[in-house]
């Protein structure tokens, strides 16, 4: 039982890494081609995190599992705060 659980855990972790990597390069390619804008890696990771949290919230509302929706909303607030602070830092670097 222990070895099977470890193999399953590694497989799920591998899937998460694979799909995150695919999303990373797709977001980068779409931002360059469609919007003519280069995003740095922090902005791309933020987009991936926002999509993951949004999916969690949609699934929790769909299945009426509020035990999962409230922590996801709690994760959303620091992520938006990080976005605002990164924007302020970028604007202050442009002024200098």
Token pair for 11: 């497989």
Same domain, 21 and 53: no
Contacts of 37 (CB under 8 A, 6+ apart): 31
Mean predicted confidence (pLDDT) in 60-89: 84
Same domain, 29 and 52: no
Same domain, 16 and 55: no
Same domain, 7 and 44: no
Same domain, 45 and 91: yes
Domain range spanning residue 21? 1-37
pLDDT band at residue 15 using 50, 70 and 90 as cut-offs? very high
Higher pLDDT, 39 or 10: 10
The C-alpha R_g of the chain, in whole angstroms, comes to 17
Total tally of structural domains belonging to the chain: 2
Each residue's pLDDT tens digit, 19-54:
999 999 999 999 999 988 888 888 888 888 888 888
Same domain, 87 and 52: yes
Position 13 pLDDT exceeds 80: yes
């Amino acid at each position: 039982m222990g070895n099977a659980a470890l193999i399953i855990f590694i497989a799920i972790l591998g899937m998460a890494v694979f799909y995150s990597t695919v999303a990373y390069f797709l977001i980068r390619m779409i931002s360059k081609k469609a919007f003519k804008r280069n995003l740095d890696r922090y902005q791309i990771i933020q987009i991936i995190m926002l999509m993951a949290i949004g999916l969690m919230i949609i699934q929790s509302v769909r299945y009426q599992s509020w035990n999962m929706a409230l922590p996801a909303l709690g994760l959303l607030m620091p992520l938006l705060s990080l976005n605002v602070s990164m924007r302020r830092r970028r604007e202050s670097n442009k002024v200098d």
